[in-house]
Structure formats: structure tokens, C-alpha cells
Structure 1
Amino acid sequence: MPGFLEIIDSFCTKDSEVATSSSFKPEHRQSVLYHLCSPEDVELGNLLVKPNPLLPPSEIAVEYTKEKYGSIPRYYIKGIHDVLMPVAMQDYLLENNPPDGVLELPSDHSPFFSTPDALVEALSSIATSLK
């Protein structure tokens, strides 16, 4: 697979030379986002995908408190076949910001397309546990 910067398009606002958003190039989306999806879902995903905003580090730095951030139950759904965010990266993020629970799906980065029934089951399980 090509390097990350080779598979994304960056976009700037008219007043800036610094990228303010990015998106995967159409020819790379299936291999990165939808590699376990049907051709129909790949087509739908390509129609729905929008550029992601890029924030400067000063706007990303957030202080998490038990009173605010910690007061909301958080669960993480891990896609074990995700190539955009491999399991090792997901595990690193989970170790550094542990949720209340982790559910694993045999999905790519887009479980709503690749494993929708398993995703619904996982979300239902989370909802039931919160009752």
C-alpha cells in the first residue's frame, strides 16, 4: 500500500495555504475504508464520504475531567480487520483512554457497511447494559 500522504487529498480554504481538511482519494477508499464491503456498499460509501477537518494541535489539546468527560459511559467497538486503524493502534488508544467496555467485530473501518448485523447486535448489547 502507498504511504498515507499519497492516498489522501488535502484541501485549503481560499485564504490559507495550510490544509484545513482531507479525504482519501477515491481510488484508495475501498482498500482503506471498505475492503470487506459489497460493491454496492463501496459505491454508497464513496457517495457519502466527506472531507475530514484538520485541526491545529492547539485546538486538539483537551483536558478530560472525571466530572464531565468521565460522567458519560463510553464503549468502543473494535474492528479487528481495520487497515486504517490497525488493532495495535486501537489497543494503544484504548490503553491510554480506557472506555467502560470494548466489543470486537470482524469488520473493517466501516462496520455499518461490512458487518451491519453484528454492529446492531453490539449496539443493542451496550444499550441493554446501560439500563
Structure 2
Amino acid sequence: MSDILLVHGSCHGAWCYRDLIPALEALGHTARAIDMPSHGNDTTPVTDVTLDSCAKSIINALGEDTVVLGHSWGGFPITRAADLAPGRIARLIYLCAYAPWDNHSTIDMRIAAPRQPLMQAIKRHEDGQSYTFEPAKVRDALYHDCPPGTEDYALAHLSPQSIAAQQTKITLGDGHRQTPRSYIRCMNDQAIPPEFQVTMSEDWPSEDVYEMPTSHSPFFADPAGLAALIDHILKD
């Protein structure tokens, strides 16, 4: 069985994997999640967050043969981590995540998508350093197919997201290219358009691309189904 490290997306934290961790453990895996800098229980000021500091928090949490799953913007720091620590990650799994293009930032890729549905739910802070999600719009954007109570749980935990970290253009190296990788498309996603998820993974081997019929938050919408799919990926 596998050692699995779960990496969150924008404004989230380790807390979002509350239901997925026990589902993976029930299948025999070791699963844990981290808070990247300034999220969850991490007290780093949001103004100090960088793409590399996020990547290094992932590297610091690796075990001997760890599979790393990144959700949404988490695709950027997990890719960077694989480049900074070549050979340390057993497999990368992109969960409705940005699979970075060379010399692009997260914001560049968001703009490159054919539409930007998440923008209507984003509230930029007055200082221009971070953003959060509009409480009234978060369910439709992120949790529309999730169980009752999910939205309230999330709103109690969501935290500001560094803009600078998402403005940083990534330079891709050999580390992530030499790491096995899989992509899970979420086909009812109202944050990252499903058609853009197809674009980002269209040249990947077909056996490394999977789909779920969920929103942007399958770890809440269908944790058992997501765990079963991860288990299938790791047994292939």
C-alpha cells in the first residue's frame, strides 16, 4: 500500500481532506495532509508566501516513497516540489488541478482557459496581496454537489490566498517529467472548466487520465469514490 500526501488548493488547508483520509486508510493506505504556508494551522504571514515556500513545505513532508496529490492550484507547488527534489516523489496525481505549462503562472493559466467561472466568487483584498472567496457564492463555485453542512464547514476554515505565489511563473525542470503522473478530471467542475482540464491533460497517455462526474471538491462530494479511484491508479 502507498504513503499518500494530500496538498490543498487556493484558500484551503489540510482540513479539506477530512473525509478522504479515512476513506484512503480504509483501503490500506497511509494518508496525511499538510497546510501550506499561511493556511490552516500554519502561521506564516500571507505576504511571505512564495511558490517555492509552498513547494518546500511539500518536500519537508515527504516520506521514503510518497505519492503526492495536488488539488486545483496545488498542481503548481507539487510540480515545483518534484523539480526541486528529483526522485523523491513516487507519483504525482493532479486532482482537477493546474498542470503547469512552462513559463506560466497560475494566473496565466486561469486566463488561458476558455472561461473563468471562479472569478465571480473571488474577493480581492484591499491591499492587493491576497484574495478570498465570497461566502454567498462559494457553494455554487466549489461545493454545489456536496453534502449539507459542507459549505458551513468550509467557510469556517477558508483563509486568504497569496496572490504573489500565483503570479510566479514556473520554470519546468526534469524532476517532474521523470515522475509518473496521473490526472483526475472533474467533469462538473464550476471552478476550473472541465474542457480546460481536458486541454491540460490531452497529450498524457490515456491510461494516466481519469474522470469523475463531480464538482471541484470530490473529497467532499464523493470521498469514497475518490479514494477508490486513487487506489485503482496506484494499483495499475
What range is the shorter-chain TM-score in? Answer: 0.7 to 0.9
User: Secondary structure of the equivalent of 2:132?
Assistant: strand
Spell out, residue by residue over 1:69-103, the C-alpha distance to the aligned partner (whole angstroms, 9 max, x if none).
1121111111111011121111111136x377111
Task: Decide whether aligned partners of structure 1 residues 57 and 84 sit closer, same or farther in structure 2, where only a CA change above 3 A counts.
Answer: closer
For the aligned residues, what is the CA RMSD?
Answer: 2.4
Work out whether 1:7 is the aligned partner of 2:114.
no
Query: Which residue of 112, 115, 121 corresponds with 2:228?
Result: 121
Deviation at 1:46, TM superposition (A): 2.0
For residues 77-96 of structure 1, the aligned pairs below 5 Å read: 77-95=184-202
2:164 matched to 1:55?
A: yes
1:31-70 deviation digits (Å, cap 9, x = unpaired): 00000011212222222322222237872231232xx111
Kindly tell me: are residues 125 and 32 of structure 1, through their superposed partners in 2, closer, same or farther at Cα, counting changes over 3 Å? same
**1:8-51 CA-partner distances (Å, limit 9, x unpaired):** 11136xxxx5x222221111100000000112122222223222
Closer, same or farther: CA 80–6 of 1 in aligned 2, 3 Å: closer
Shift of 1:127: 1.8
The aligned counterpart of 2:132 is 23
Computing the radius of gyration over CA atoms, which structure comes out larger, 1 or 2? Answer: 1
Gap runs ≥5 in structure 2: 1-116
Q: Name structure 1 gaps, 5 residues minimum.
A: none
**Aligned-partner Cα distance in 2 for 1:49–1:106:** 24
Amino acid at match of 1:127: L
Instruction: State the SS of the aligned residue for 2:125.
Output: strand
SS in 2 for 1:88: helix
> Residue 106 of structure 1 aligns with which residue?
213
In structure 2, relative to structure 1, the CA distance for the partners of 1:71 and 1:7 (3 Å cut) is: same
Greater Cα offset, 48-57 or 100-109 = 48-57
Q: Structure 2 vs 1, CA of residues 6 and 83 (structure 1 numbering), >3 Å: closer, same or farther?
A: closer
Contact 2:118–2:141 under 8 Å retained in 1: no
Secondary structure in 2 aligned to 1:78?
strand
Which of structure 1's runs of 4+ aligned residues deviate more than 4 A?
A: 3-6
Q: Work out the percentage of aligned pairs sharing the same amino acid.
A: 25
